[in-house]
Amino acid sequence: MKRWLQVLFAIATHPRYLLVFSLGRLTIIRTLHHVIFRKENAVKHNTEDSLFVVDTSLNITKSLQEHGIFKGIYLPETIKNEILGFADRPCLSSSQNESRCSVPKHSLIGEELSSCDAIRRVEADPLLWDIATQYFQREPIRLDTLLRWTSVKNPTPDWRKKYTFHYHFDLEDYHSIKFMFYLTDVDMGGGPHVCVRGTHHYKKLRHQLAASRVKSEKDIIGSYGPDRIDVITGPSGFGFVEDFHCFHKATFPTRTDRLVLEIRFVTRDYGVVL
């Protein structure tokens, strides 16, 4: 219900989002939108000033285009440690009420993260902006930043029903990518993210036309095969970037809590995060 209210609010405030929500799930529409609105002279960002030491943004973009994902963007140790120190503080601002301050592990978004210099530096890093620019072939918009804890502690049945823990794809815009950085070691018991490679371009037509974006594991494996499913593990500081039109899901940690930094880019902000 909450998701549908978000959709209705976005349509009411941004009527064009109705087209995104109804047509943005179709690969041919997204491809046409990209061709029509791309800019050959999109600004190239100076990645020499980047915090990150990785392959060229061109090769990262190529991997995104082919597979919908690139893995291997590592946070510098000093940046990672600063974010971890920030996340471990039980109360991050005087505006938070006492009950929330008593819970050290909660998710933070937007202004709640503004006092962390390391996160602001990652958000503004020219490599991230250049990857988004080259992939979209137009100037990107940073939609949101989230510092998210997922806890081992006995999630309730209602929590387990959350669509993020089932295969789905996102529809904030015709084009959307997200950078994710693990701040804790993530093995098979640490709540790894799962991506179905290549499904940003190659979805079954019935999945594009279906009213629901949420699919069962049986349906996904039967439709795309087990070889397409990428369970992403990595040490603290490990990062990747994914086109979130790929089918993907979160998994529940069974041994250790997971902390992840997420930074999402789109081409237009319709005021909705799904």
Q: How many CB atoms lie within 10 A of CB 189?
A: 15
Domain that holds residue 252: 2-266
229-232/239-243 β-pairing = unpaired
pLDDT of 245 strictly over 90 = yes
pLDDT for 152 equals 87
pLDDT for 100 equals 38
- Write the pLDDT tens digit of every residue in 158-213: 555 576 899 999 999 999 999 999 999 999 999 999 999 999 999 999 999 998 99
- Asked if residue 146 belongs to a domain, the reply is yes
- Asked if residue 273 belongs to a domain, the reply is no
CA angle 98, 104, 110 (to 5 degrees): 85
- Cα(261)–Cα(122) distance, rounded to whole angstroms? 10
pLDDT for 47 equals 85
- Asked if residue 271 belongs to a domain, the reply is no
Could you write out the three-class secondary structure of 201-216? CCCCHHHHHCCCCCEC
Residue 151, C-beta contacts closer than 8 angstroms, at least 6 positions apart: 105, 253, 257
**Which CATH number covers residue 217?**
2.60.120.620
pLDDT for 12 equals 86
pLDDT for 177 equals 98
Q: How many CB atoms lie within 10 A of CB 258?
A: 23
Q: At 15, is the pLDDT very low, low, confident or very high (cuts 50, 70, 90)?
A: confident
- Asked if residue 225 belongs to a domain, the reply is yes
Q: How many domains does the chain have?
A: 1
- Cα(165)–Cα(191) distance, rounded to whole angstroms? 10
- Write the pLDDT tens digit of every residue in 30-80: 999 999 999 877 778 888 889 998 766 668 999 999 999 999 999 999 999
- Nearest Cα to 253, choosing from 193, 192, 190, 195? 190
- Cα(72)–Cα(75) distance, rounded to whole angstroms? 10
- Asked if residue 262 belongs to a domain, the reply is yes
pLDDT for 102 equals 35
- Asked if residue 272 belongs to a domain, the reply is no
Share of the chain above pLDDT 70, in %: 86
pLDDT for 93 equals 40
pLDDT of 95 strictly over 70 = no
- Nearest Cα to 200, choosing from 83, 79, 25? 25
- Asked if residue 274 belongs to a domain, the reply is no
- Asked if residue 105 belongs to a domain, the reply is yes
Q: In whole numbers, what is the pLDDT of the chain averaged over residues?
A: 87
Tokens at 210, concatenated:
């279906």
The better pLDDT of the pair 10, 248 is held by 248
- Cα(5)–Cα(11) distance, rounded to whole angstroms? 10
pLDDT for 98 equals 39
pLDDT for 7 equals 77
Q: Are 273 and 262 in contact (CB under 8 A)?
A: no
Q: 57-67 and 126-136 helices cross at what angle (nearest 10)?
A: 50
- Cα(254)–Cα(155) distance, rounded to whole angstroms? 10
Q: Are 82 and 118 in contact (CB under 8 A)?
A: yes
Q: Are 177 and 243 in contact (CB under 8 A)?
A: yes
